[in-house]
Structure 1
Amino acid sequence: MSNLQIGLAVLGGLVLAALVAHSTWTARKNAPRRAQPAPEQRDTAPEPQEPILDDTDLAAPDLPRPTTLRKTSLDPLIDVIATVALDPASPVVSGDAAIAASPATRRAGTKPYAIEGYNLSSQVWEPLAAGQRYGGFQAGVQLANRSGALNEIEYSEFVVKTQSFADALNATPEFPEMRDEVARARELDQFASAHDAQLGFTIRAKSASWSPGYVHQCAARLGFVPGAVPGRMVLPASVEGLAPVLVLAFDSQAALAEDPEQSAIRELGLHLDVAHVDRNEQPFVRMRDAAFALAREMDGVVTDDDGQALEARTMDLIGQELESLYNTMEQRDLAAGSVLARRLFS
């Protein structure tokens, strides 16, 4: 073999090696980012890293509230309420009998329906419970929710259900005027529709995509925990049992893939249901901080639904509008995060 042939062979080998190396580098660059193993799983200790946020940036604020939820009660502000008076000859009804006489469903059309009893021991209205003694009842149907205002057909179903319950107990119901209640429902629905804010930001990958494990690892550093639905994480409220402050969502198919670490996620949705979260939780501040922190950590950008990048100045304007919304809802006795607000905006 001549020197020329040898030289060409060597050159060809070098070119082939370069192509293989470039292909490998490109594949690694475009592969979804994966979660890093825990420190104890690594061969060597990791280098110290600066935290993404201060410890208090996304932490739940201290709230002057109890750690458990009180029972939901009918309220004339958002419910039609009918009284059910017992026969004087039988002034007491057991909880077991009342439960047996109750309708099989707890809805009238698309509106929640409920019956409460006046507990003779505690002297308060409460949801029916076995083993209790009741001296009277009240039935209610919600005036409005996100399905719309209570209409005449739903009101009629409410009357039928309540009358059947009363007949079973030999009691007498008294209903408010349907026309007045339907008009009240429409007014409440108009208010709710005008003040129903549900915010959403999108975090989009600038270059490399993300695996589900990588998303979970980054979000967990900010206090998010896995939700009940695949592809969803939540930032819990400071009071157990309340709706989460924020919801972080991504493609559920990626989370359910046979090999999730090979799934490529290119965007995350960060959501806040304003009416369901107490303003003392500082939900918007935490939402804004979480969005920018995730974008910074994951090499992404925060955008609106149309793909337009959101800047801090835009966020400030949104925050100001929310403060005005919170004030309006409180003036209507429907403070964000309250039992009534969560029922109305559901």
Structure 2
Amino acid sequence: MSNFQLGLLISGALVLVAVLGYNAWITHRNAPKRALPPEPGAAPEPLARLEPDFDGAALGLPASADDTEPAFDGHAVDLRDALQLPVPPAERRGGLDPLIDAIVPIAAEQQVSGDAALAALPPTRRAGSKPFAIEGFNEATQQWETPQPGQRYRQFQAGVQLANRLGALNEIEFSEFVMKAQGFADAINAMPDFPDMLHEVARARELDQFASEHDAQLSFLLRARQAAWSPGYVQQNAARLGLVAGAIPGRLVLPAGEAGLPPVLTLSYDSQAAMSDDPEQSAVRDIMLSLDVPLVHRAQQPFARLREIAAALGQVMDGVLCDQNGTPLPAMAMDPIAADLEQLYDKLDSRDLPAGSVLARRLFS
């Protein structure tokens, strides 16, 4: 073999090695980012799971040097310890309320046992698409309550919700409510006092109009700038910010400061990627951060938390915040939204339906 042929062979081999190396680099660069393995000797920490229940401060992240984004070292700092979630103020009422319910007083001719009242309840707790309930007045506690075994009642009330996110109570639903309330009254030998249907339907339409004008559900995309993310990578970084797994694959939530309340925020991504046979090879390019404004008390400052979590995740995961259509959002675009939300909170307060309250959670369900 001549020196010329040998030189060509060596040159070809070098080119082949370069091509293979370049392809390997491109493959590595474009592969989804994976979660970091646990420290040697440390057991991997499972992601806590939370089932959302429908029934003042932000995150407190340390500021970066330029004070424009929260400092976040995804490899060294666990920001869950920085979460100080305030507990909403205690509420003074629950159950049926004339503010959002059409209520029918039901007076029994004699005391009725709680067991008999429970047996007389209709099999379903809805009239059309609206929740329906019956309560008895407990003489000992001076409170209305769902009939309890072992108790005795003389006064009852039946109620149907005037509006929810499916719309206002209509004439057909009110008629169904009347039939169920009358059936209960007949079973316990009591007399109901029904309100005027047209008046209650008009109240329902007015309440539904108010709710429609003051309902806000915000969603923002965090989109990968370059390499995609694996589900494990998303979960690992979200967990450092206090988010825990929800009941649905591909959904994480920031729990409220009190058990049983709806989550402050939700983070969601492709459920198919979350359920993949090999999740670490699944590519996630977008995650959605969402806030259901009327369901979360303003004292928890959920929008401020959303902004800080989005900034922290964007910094460590190399993502850009976008609107729902994928258009990048400058930081200044978030300030007018925050101002509008404060006005919305004020209007809900003025209607005695503060965000996060039992009544607001029922109305905006």
**Structure 1: runs of 5+ lacking an equivalent:** none
For residues 193 and 286 of structure 2, what CA distance do their matches in structure 1 show?
55
Contact 1:235 1:247 in 2 (8 A): yes
For 1:186-225, what aligned pairs fall within 5 Å after superposition? Answer: 186-225=205-244
Give runs of aligned pairs for residues 141-220 of structure 1, distance below 5 A.
141-220=160-239
Letter in 2 for 1:11: S
Q: Contact 1:85/1:136 (CA < 8 Å) preserved in 2?
A: yes
Within the alignment, does 1:7 sit opposite 2:7 as a pair?
A: yes
Cα distance in 1 for residues equivalent to 2:117 and 2:243:
43
Give the aligned partner of residue 87 of structure 2.
Answer: 63
How far apart, in 2, do the equivalents of 1:327 and 1:126 lie? 31
TM-score (norm 2): 0.88
Distance in 2, matches of 1:198 and 1:222, equals 22
Assess if the C-alpha contact under 8 Å between 2:163 and 2:204 holds in 1.
Answer: yes
Alpha-carbon separation, structure 1, partners of 2:327 and 2:253: 25
Q: Tell me how far apart the structure 1 counterparts of residues 331 and 79 of structure 2 sit (CA, whole Å).
A: 16
Give the aligned partner of residue 108 of structure 2.
Answer: 86
Does the residue aligned with 2:40 lie in a helix, a strand or coil?
helix
Contact 1:52–1:293 (Cα < 8 Å) also in 2: no
Mapped partners of 1:330, 1:32: distance in 2: 45
| Residues 317 and 40 of structure 1, relative CA distance in 2, 3 Å threshold | same
Matched with 1:27 is 27
Q: Any conservation in 1 of the 2:88–2:300 contact (CA below 8 Å)?
A: no
Residue range with higher mean Cα deviation, 100-109 or 20-29: 20-29
Task: In structure 1, give the amino acid aligned to 2:38.
Answer: A
1:305 equivalent to 2:324? Answer yes
Give identity over the alignment, percent: 59
Q: Measure the CA separation in 1 of the matches of 2:199 and 2:169.
A: 11
Contact 1:204 1:301 in 2 (8 A): yes
Q: Secondary structure at the match of 1:98?
A: helix
Find the counterpart in structure 2 of residue 117 from structure 1.
Answer: 136
Shift of 1:62: 3.2
Counterpart of 1:76, as a letter, is: P
Q: Which amino acid aligns with 1:62?
A: P
d(CA) in 1 for partners of 2:217 and 2:129? Answer: 21
State the structure with bigger RCO (CA 8 A, min sep 6), 1 or 2. Answer: 2
How big is the alpha-carbon RMSD for the aligned residues of Structure 1 and Structure 2?
A: 1.9
Alignment of 1:90-101 (within 5 A): 90=110, 92-101=111-120
Equivalent pair of 1:60/1:281 in contact (CA under 8 Å): no
Aligned to 1:17: 17
- Contact 1:80-1:141 at 8 Å conserved across structures: yes
> 1:48–1:240: structure 2 CA closer, same or farther, 3 Å change rule?
closer
Q: 2:222·2:321 contact (CA, 8 Å) conserved in 1?
A: yes
Q: How far, CA to CA, are the matches of 1:20 and 1:149 in structure 2?
A: 65
Return the letter of the residue paired with 1:223: G
Any stretches of 5+ residues in structure 2 without a counterpart?
43-72
Matched, 1:74 2:96: yes
The separation in 2 between residues aligned to 1:48 and 1:122, in whole angstroms, is: 53
Alpha-carbon distance between aligned partners in 1 of 2:128 and 2:203, rounded to the nearest angstrom: 17
Q: Tell whether the 8 Å contact from 1:53 to 1:293 is kept in structure 2 after alignment.
A: no
Task: Work out the CA distance in 1 between the residues paired with 2:251 and 2:76.
Answer: 27
What's the offset of the Cα at 1:51? 4.2
Cα deviation for residue 65 of structure 1 reads 3.6
Does structure 2 conserve the Cα–Cα contact (< 8 Å) formed by 1:232 and 1:248?
A: yes
1:237–1:244 CA contact under 8 A, matched in 2: yes
Q: Distance in 2 between matches of 1:49 and 1:153?
A: 59
In the alignment, the residues of structure 2 paired with residue 97 and residue 311 of structure 1 have an alpha-carbon distance, to the nearest angstrom, of 62
Aligned to 1:317: 336
